[in-house]
Structures are given as structure tokens and as C-alpha cells.
Structure 1
Amino acid sequence: MSFNLVYRKACHLPVELEYKAQWAIKEMNLDFKAAGERRMLQMHELEEICHNAYENSKIYKEKTKAYHDRRIIHQSFAPNDRVLLFNSRLKLFTGKLRSRWSGPFTVKEVKPYGTLILWGKKGDTFVFNGQRVKPYLTEEEGREAMLLADPPG
């Protein structure tokens, strides 16, 4: 009562506030069965969302794999073919106009799964993936291809 006279406000002790908060929580969560069912429904919905996300990512991976597999150019090489090798380390150095293809190299042996063993200029051998090489066309082969490509006039 003296608090009310001095400050002209009602005095609320922390114990009273805590009791009122507990009472409000009890009133809101009185039906434990309905709250449990609602929580289980939320858990099942979350599980379904995770399952749908997993299925969508699986479909996306399959489509991108099919797209990349379609873009792979299947080339067959035989021993003594001349090839150019893609130089992937060139991007570390400047030189925009330098060719990214080095060579020509000669195919020594063709291994399974597209692996090639190449002869270097000094007679040493290298093992490379077949996707990093392309056929080397000599000037005579290039001229023949140009003659075939010209339209009749």
C-alpha cells in the first residue's frame, strides 16, 4: 500500500507475474491430446516435404547426367593416329591468343574406357584420357575436307 501512495502505481511482485504466466500457459495447453496430434501432423508434413525434396533432387541429377552424357563426343582412335592434346594448364598463364591444343602426338596404344598412351616428340610416353584429345588433321586432309564442303557452282 505504501508503494501505491509513493509512486501512484500498482505494485506487481515478480512472484505474481510468474504465477499469472504459468496460469496462462496451462490454459492454452490444456488439451494435451489435441496438441500432440497437431504436432504429429506437423512432423509428418515435414517428413513429406523432405521426401519430395529428395525426389526432386534425384530427378534433377538424372536429367543433368543425361544432358552431359548426350554432349560427350565418342571418338575412336587407333594406334599410329595423330592427335592434339588439350592443355588445361594454359589458363594459369596469360596469353589469350595462344592455342590450348598442343602436339601433334602419336597414339601408341588404346586402353579400355577411352585411355590413350601417346608418344611424345622425344620418344617418351604419356597416358591421357581420350576426352582430352582430338584428331590431328594434316594439310592434305584439310584440303580434301574443304573440297568436299564447297557447294557446286
Structure 2
Amino acid sequence: MGFEKAEAERRLQLQELESLRLEAYENSRLYKEKMKVIHDQHIKRKEFQPGDLVLLYNFRLRLMPGKLRSRWEGPYKVERAEPYGVFYLSHPSSSELIKVNGHRLKMVRRRRKTRS
């Protein structure tokens, strides 16, 4: 009689533990979905059109000392845009095209004219 009662109690405990585990998984999934929405709101979409002036990130600068040196080179002109973030750039001083990933580019800011 004692074994049957202990067995029933243990099964009840295991069912309760399983329901707590499933609830934790569900809460984790909901939290991740909310965090993804918040993260995606802060992502700035980079869309470049042919003719835009952009700066190119130089990731090899760490080989050259100088911490005040800018890591951005340019301006370059976007000649062609292909799917999946591939861009062809041209430098004003040369005629050859450079093929780069869009993650290495940023738009050139236009300076505002100040009234004096």
C-alpha cells in the first residue's frame, strides 16, 4: 500500500515538474521574440543606389599605427548594386571598379551650410 501511494505521489511530482519546464520554455520563447522585435527596430537599413557617395571601412588599419587615423576611406561612388549586399564602387581618381560587401559602407554625410 505504501509503495502505490509513493508511486502516485512521485508521478504527480514529475507531471508538475514537466509542466513547469514547458512553461519556462514558453516564457523563454516569448522573451526572445520581444527582444528580437526591439533589436530589429534599432537596425538601420543600408540602401545605396547607383550614384550615391559612400565611405569604405578599412579593416586592415590595425596593421598601421595611429589611433587618431580614420578607418573610413573615400568618398567612393556606387556604380552598381547587386543582390545580397554586393556593391561595385569607383574612386574618382581611378577607373577600375571595387567589389565590396555593403556592411563595409556608409553614406557620406552632407555638411550643412551655416549662415554667418
Q: Distance in 2 between matches of 1:96 and 1:109?
A: 33
Q: Distance in 1 between matches of 2:31 and 2:65?
A: 37
Q: Distance in 2 between matches of 1:50 and 1:93?
A: 53
2:98 to 125, 129, 146: 125
Q: Distance in 1 between matches of 2:9 and 2:80?
A: 68
**Pairing 1:107–2:78 present:** yes
Structure 2: unaligned runs, 5 residues or longer: none
Greater relative contact order (CA < 8 Å, ≥ 6 in sequence): 2
Normalization by structure 1: what TM-score?
A: 0.59
Note the C-alpha offset of 1:91: 6.1
1:47 alignment partner in structure 2: 18
- Letter matched to residue 125 of structure 1: I
**Pairing 1:134–2:106 present:** yes
Structure 1: unaligned runs, 5 residues or longer: 1-29
Normalization by structure 2: what TM-score?
A: 0.74
1:8 alignment partner in structure 2: none
Note the C-alpha offset of 1:105: 2.1
Note the C-alpha offset of 1:127: 3.0
- Which is helix-richer, 1 or 2? 1
Is the contact between residue 78 and residue 90 of structure 2 (CA under 8 Å) also seen in structure 1?
no
Is the contact between residue 120 and residue 126 of structure 1 (CA under 8 Å) also seen in structure 2?
no
SS at match of 1:42: helix
Percent sequence identity over aligned pairs? 41
Note the C-alpha offset of 1:32: 1.2
Note the C-alpha offset of 1:124: 3.5
